[in-house]
Amino acid sequence: MNKLLVYLKDYKKETILGPLFKLLEASFELFVPLVVASMIDVGIKTGDTGYIVRMCLLLVALGVIGLVCSITAQYFAAKAAVGFVKKIRHALFSHIQSLSYTELDTLGSSTMITRMTSDVNQVQNGTNLTLRLLLRSPFVVFGAMVMAFTIDWQAAMVFVVTIPLLCVVVFGIMLVSIPLYRKVQARLDRLLGITRENLTGVRVLRAFCKEDEEIAEFETRNEALTSVQKFVGRISALMNPVTYIIINLAVVVLIWTGALRVEAGILTQGMVIALYNYMSQILAELVKMANLIINITKAAACGNRIQAVFEIASSQEQASASPEKRKDAPEVEFRGVSLRYKGAGEDSLSGLSFSAMPGETVGVIGGTGSGKTSLVSLIPRFYDTADGAVLVQGADVRDYPLAELRSLIGVVPQKAVLFHGTVRDNLKWGNPDATDDELWDALACAQAREVVEGKKGGLDFVIEQAGRNLSGGQRQRLTIARALVRRPRILILDDSSSALDFATDAALRKALRALPYQPTVFVVSQRASSIQYADRIVVLDDGEAVGIGTHEELLESCAVYQEIYNSQFRKEDA
Amino acid sequence: MENNPYVQREALRKVLSRLKKYRVLIALSILFAAVTVGLTLYVPVLVGDAIDRIVGPGQVDFVSVGAILVQIAVIVGATALLQWLMNTINNKITFQVVRDVRSEAFRKLQILPLKYLDAHSHGEIVSRVIADVDQFADGLLMGFTQLFTGALTILGTLVFMLSIHAGITLVVVLLTPISLFVASFIARRTYAMFKLQSETRGKQTALIDEMIGNQKVVQAFSHEDESLEQFDEINEQLEKCSLRATFFSSITNPATRFVNSLVYAGVGITGSLVAIAGAISVGDLTCLLSYANQYTKPFNEISGVVTELQNALACAGRIFELIDEEPQIPEKENAAVLTDVRGNVSLTGVEFSYDPKRPLIRDFNLTVKPGQRVAIVGPTGCGKTTVINLLMRFYDVQEGAIRVEGEDIRDVTRRSLRSGYGMVLQETWLKAGTIRENILMGRPDATEEEMIAAAKASHAHGFIRRLPQGYDTVISEDGGSLSQGQKQLLCIARVMLCRPPMLILDEATSSIDTRTELKVQEAFARLMQGRTSFIVAHRLSTIREADVILVMRDGNIVEQGNHESLLEKGGFYAELYNSQFAH
């Protein structure tokens, strides 16, 4: 949490002034019992009406000053908390964008989203409350004690005993019950798990006639939850009664001491009342403080989680200057490449070597988990190799600044992701300076021209979040167009025609071949028909290239390729 | 819906009906609350009395003061004890009611028709059973503990104050509403700000969702700067509206505190003047001041409780909506138990649709003899699962009848019908638990040997043995570390163990690698031997070897026949066959 505090430094003024005004307010509040005491001792005793009126006006004045101070404090606290969190959000977003795929995989997007939303909101609330109350409550508690001392040290001893006792009870009960509440949450989560499981598996459960068993299991878990809830309820129900007893017994002792001191002529009646009032102030503030501490702990936990994200640094270093390229080199070359994902026990790719000359088409085929996507994701350096090197235009991808390397490459990912915005906005991701004509060219090549023409507004058609208002095939074609808008030297199609019918797939392949700038194309597919006509086919099995060659060569020599091909084209040998 | 008073009243009525069995405890709770409040309010009076006996040197009545203090100590002890008992009782009632409601909801889930479950998002149903019930519990508990005590405190304070001095009471009663007025004024004014804040937050979350969720694409296109710019724009907006909402709402506390201090000063001045006139003592004044200090608290609490309760009732409304949902058609009283199922299935004149406006299956007839295979084919999303839904009686036919061994399936028990089938669906669903529990799901009493034999027959034994704890390996709900293919093999083993006379299979294995797929195919083949099978078919060999092929399109069965006859017909099947399997 503490490292996040740098984001507070632009709000130094607010973070100091907020609590300060709060303290001012609290100190004015501490004067109230004294005013009342003198009202009784002087005003009522002497029957001086004017004095009483003056004292009451003083009370009102104290109230007004308190109000002004505290509103000022609230403003500074809110400003600091909101601004602090804004800066954290900005930095966090920017930081996440700087992470490489490896870190993104480890973190997981749902975690990152929670950090950026609910965790950050918790931090905001926590900061706000801390600035407002953290100093105020202890100040009032100890201030009340100090004021008691100024009245009479002997009576004040009651405070000295009571305050620690109350602290022990309030914080003790909280310390005991907080872990129990966590247990409640854990049991509730189990219940949630069963419920969700029952919904997703409803067909299977009913097919196996498991309804009664499921009810029995649910009820056992439900009972377990209820019993721990009741247990923790009994403990936290102690808080009010016990503090009530302590405070009131303290009042009893205080009045008795007061009686003795009044008899001795050291205290007046009004002073006893003032002491009594101070005692009443303590309890309310202690309870507030306890709640505040819970909130702070929560916010600190969220803050720590956020900080943990900041502490993850990108595992990739990037070059600052453009590398030297070789004209005659292959467009892409793999030299003894191995890839091992972080935390994985085995290599996902091992000992891979092949090259693709400019304008060539490379097909990559293999079963699920054979490493097809891993292979192509090495070209834009989404991951770093464990061994060997990937070269683009003769230069190691690690020697490129990432932005330069990636600007050479058009990627069409497996999952057709589009963003909220117009078709034009989405296509311009490929190249912000593209003209409409260029966009239409790309659309035509991606077989998406009719799709966009058929939408109201054409390029201005607004795509909803996640492309909900488009079909899978339409999305896929638009993502292809997006990559083409860039006029990439290297085009990577990662299983990107899976949602296209055969005819469209064929037309797309033909159009790609006819592109004037002749990109080097990598086609990843599970369908033999999609890669059959490639200049070179890489057959992957369990991370290893078990065959590299043309369709005909592989059909002759590669067992895995034959297996795949035959399972899809069995008709031909029937 | 949530603010509809009728719905709220209904919900309230239902909550009350569930509280009925706790009426003794509730009565006790109310009694304790009344006594506690009375005693709590009496303590300041006693303190005032004691102070009146400590006037000055030589004017201290130690005997009376001592007696009063002992009295206070006893009363405080009793109050605390009652308070604890009351809290404990309230906890007990709340948590037990919640347990009952949750249980009721879960039981309902088990008998709700699939039609309901398919039409509602699972997340939503889960949140009703878990989150809504939880919220409802909080509201109920708060309602119990604070509504009563709050109301009683207000009433009691008034009575006690009146008993001391009517005029001063009037001052308090007249001034307090200002505090409430101020609080509600601020709440009304800030409502719009909070709404704006949550809308802006929503917008920002959507953007985060998009850009962070798809961060890989963002990076692939080096779009980081643009997306940060977009983010910052919303971030600035959020800062502005967040500041407004936070600041203006945080004025409430200081403002009401200020009003309280006005009340305090008001009591101070009137009280002092009255005291000078001799109508009340200094002790009475102390007592009145401490009442004045606390008087607004229950009002604030109650207004908090009222919103909380409204919220709780809205939650309760959602839960009861689920609980009161129409259950599946109950079984007939004389429903027969299907025995000796050999695999004769017939469908006569079946009509079915999910939506009355869009008829799907019309006049569908089919007779299947034991051991026959029926392949269901069609493009994705054509409604192949509809047939499964009808055969398993997850949905009921609207016209016609489905018969198994000549018995209308609506005349037999669901249990006996469903245990006649073995079902392996495309979405491989495993229960959180051990592998063993999962395989034994259909036959918990099977022996270890039988289980292993079933696992071997389904090619699952090999990989299970290699798992860290073998058959006792615990898997999470989504199968955790198991691959899609391995999960499918487990589902097959689960059915293999039951040896049902009829099968329903979904072949879709697109996400399985070729090697595992071969194993799954073999396991399927072994499973189908001699059994009547309905297969959602994806593989050419399955389709060609089927005795009957049902060709579906847009939910309808458009053609029916065997491979040769259908190809000859040159209809939709021929078209499909040529586009998918030939080039």
pLDDT of residue B509: 56
Q: Give the residues across from B421 on adjacent strands.
A: B502
Q: Which residues contact B471 (CB under 8 A, 6 or more apart)?
A: B434, B435, B436, B439, B451, B464
Name the band, by pLDDT with cuts 50, 70 and 90, for residue B2. very low
| Token pair for A174 | 């909280």
pLDDT digits 0-9 by tens, B245-254: 999 988 888 8
Give dist(CA B392, CA B345) in Å, integer: 12
pLDDT band at B380 (very low <50, low <70, confident <90, very high): low
Q: Does B269 touch chain A (CB under 8 A)?
A: yes
CB contact under 8 A, B261 and A63: yes
Cβ-defined contact of B43 to A248 (cutoff 8 Å): yes
Q: Which residues of B touch A18 (CB under 8 A)?
A: none
> Longest C-alpha distance within chain A, in Å?
119
Test mutation, A169, A202, A215, A318, chain B, max B CBs within 10 A = A202
Q: Which of A128, A83, A105, A114 is nearest to A305 (CA)?
A: A114
DSSP B480-516: TTS-HHHHHHHHHHHHHHH--SEEEEE---TTS-HHH
pLDDT at residue number A270: 86
CA–CA dist B344, A245 (Å, integer): 78
Q: What is the pLDDT of residue A344?
A: 65
Residue A325 CA: distances (Å) to CA of A208, B69, B571:
64, 95, 58
Do B222 and A245 lie within an 8 Å CB cutoff?
A: no
- pLDDT per position as a tens digit, B137-148: 878 877 777 888
- Tell me, what CATH number does B447's domain have? 3.40.50.300
pLDDT category of residue B201 using cuts at 50, 70 and 90: confident
Using a CB–CB cutoff of 8 Å, tell me whether B78 touches chain A: no
Question: Is A2-311 a CATH 1.20.1560.10 domain?
Answer: yes
CB A120 within 8 A of CB A82: no
Helix (H) or strand (E) holding B534: strand B532-536
Strand partners, B348: B401
Instruction: Give the pLDDT score at A343.
Output: 67
- For residue B94, which of B31, B30, B137 has the smallest C-alpha distance? B137
Q: How far apart are CA B406 and CA B278, in angstroms?
A: 100
Contact flag A90-B418 (C-beta cutoff 8 Å): no
The residue behind tokens 């304008």 is A359
User: Per the CB < 8 Å rule, is B47 touching A43?
Assistant: no
B433 DSSP β-pair partners: B475
Instruction: Assign residue B111 the CATH number of its domain.
Output: 1.20.1560.10
Is B70 part of any domain?
A: yes
Size of interface A-B (CB pairs under 8 A): 376
Select from B446, B479, B499 the last residue of a domain: B499
Q: Is B297 a residue whose pLDDT tops 80?
A: no
Q: Can you give the pLDDT at residue A202?
A: 86
Residue A118 per-residue DSSP state: I
Query: Does B448 touch chain A if contact means CB atoms closer than 8 Å?
Result: no
| DSSP-derived pairing of the beta strands A490-494 and A409-412 | parallel
Copy the structure tokens of residue A540. 């992957």
The torsion angles phi and psi of A532, rounded to 5 degrees, stand at -50, -40
| Residue segments in chain A with a per-residue pLDDT below the cut of 70 | 1, 343-346, 368-369, 499, 567-574
**Residue from B569, B549, B565 nearest B557 by CA:** B549
Collect all residues with Cβ–Cβ distance below 8 Å to B529 and sequence separation of at least 6. none
Nearest by Cα to B114 from B390, B395, B424, B504: B395
Chain B closest-CA separation from residue A367 CA (Å): 4
> Do the chains contact at B253 and A234, CB–CB below 8 Å?
no
Which of A94, A208, A493 to substitute to test the interface with B, most B CBs within 10 Å? A208
Q: Name the CATH superfamily, with its identifier, for domain A332-408+488-573.
A: P-loop containing nucleotide triphosphate hydrolases (3.40.50.300)
Q: With bands split at pLDDT 50, 70 and 90, how would you rate the model's confidence at B1?
A: very low
From A267-271, A496-500, B88-92, B368-372, the region with the lowest mean pLDDT: A496-500
- Cβ(A343)–Cβ(A501) below 8 Å: no
Which residues 306-365 of chain B have a CB within 8 Å of chain A?
A: none
Amino acid, single-letter form, for residue B520: V
Kindly report the nearest CA distance between residue A65 and chain B, in angstroms.
9
Q: Quick check: is B87 in a domain?
A: yes
Q: Which amino acid is at B275?
A: A
Q: How far is A280 from chain B (nearest CA, A)?
A: 9
Among B103, B251, B257, the residue with its CB nearest the CB of A219 is B103
- Beta pairing partners, B361: B352
My answer on whether B324 and B441 are in the same domain is no
Give yes or no: residues B319 and B458 share one domain: no
A128:B130 CB<8 A: no
- Nearest residue on chain B to A414, alpha-carbon basis: B217
- The verdict on a CB contact (< 8 Å) between B54 and A229 is no
Residue B514 scores a pLDDT above 60: no
Q: Which of A369, A407, A482 sits opposite B513 (nearest CB)?
A: A369
Q: What does the DSSP 8-state code read for residue B352?
A: E
Q: Which domain holds residue B485?
A: 431-499
Best mutation target among A14, A21, A206, A562 (most B Cβ atoms within 10 Å) is A206
Tell me the domain boundaries of chain A: 2-311, 332-408+488-573, 418-464+473-482
Domain end: B462, B480, B499, which one? Answer: B499
User: Nearest 5 degrees, angle CA B369-CA B373-CA B374?
Assistant: 100
Locate the chain A residue with the closest alpha carbon to B494: A208
CB contact under 8 A, A252 and B109: no
Question: CA A414, CA A482: separation in Å to the nearest integer?
Answer: 14
Residue of A nearest to B127 (CA): A192
Q: Which residue has the tokens 């047939």?
A: B387
pTM tops 0.90:
no
Number of compact structural domains in chain B: 2
Give contacts of B65 with chain A, Cβ < 8 Å: 255-256, 259
Determine the length of chain B: 583
> Chain A within 8 Å of B265 (Cβ-Cβ)?
yes
B394 touches chain A (CB under 8 A): yes
Ramachandran angles phi, psi of B150, nearest 5°: -60, -55
> Within 10 Å of residue A433's Cβ, how many Cβ atoms?
7
Does B571 reside within a domain?
no
User: Tokens representing B409?
Assistant: 């399936």
B103:A210 CB<8 A: no
Q: DSSP letters along A369-428, please? A: TSSHHHHHHTTTTSS--SEEEEEETTEEGGGS-HHHHHHTEEEE-SS----SEEHHHHHT
Could you tell me the two tokens for B96?
């037990």
- Encode B318-348: b = buried (16+ Cβ within 10 Å), e = exposed: bbbebbeeeebeeeeeebeebeebebbbbbb
- For B421, name the nearest residue in chain A, comparing CA atoms only: A207
β-partners of residue A9 are: none
pLDDT of res. A491: 94
CB contacts, 8 Å: A234 with chain B: 88, 91
Residue B286 included in any domain: no
Is residue B580 scored above 70 in pLDDT?
no
ipTM score: 0.82
Question: Cβ atoms within 10 A of the Cβ of B522, count?
Answer: 13
pLDDT band at B516 (very low <50, low <70, confident <90, very high): low
CB contact under 8 A, B250 and A128: yes
A363 bridge partner residues: A523, A537
Least confident piece of the model among B319-333, B343-357, B541-555: B541-555
Buried-state track B47-77, b at ≥16 Cβ within 10 A, e below 16: bbbbbbbbbeeeebeeeebeebbebbbebbe
Q: For residues B41 and A248, give the distance between their C-alpha atoms in angstroms, rounded to a whole number.
A: 13
Nearest CA in chain B to A574: B541
Total length of chain A: 574
Instruction: Give the one of A201, A215, A369 whose C-beta lies nearest to B431's C-beta.
Output: A201
Mark yes or no for CB contact B87/A237 under 8 Å. Answer: yes
- Please check whether residue B91 touches A, CB under 8 A: yes
Stretch 26-55 of chain B: residues touching chain A, C-beta under 8 Å:
43, 47, 50-51, 53-55
Radius of gyration of chain A (CA): 36
For residues B280 and B162, what is the distance between their CA atoms, to the nearest angstrom? Answer: 12
SS3 of residue B471 by DSSP: helix
Q: Decide if B268 and A121 are in contact by the 8 Å CB cutoff.
A: no
Q: Identify whether B576 is part of a domain.
A: no
Evaluate whether residue B447 is within a structural domain. Answer: yes
Tell me the chain B residues in contact with residue A71 when contact means C-beta distances shorter than 8 Å.
Answer: 251, 254
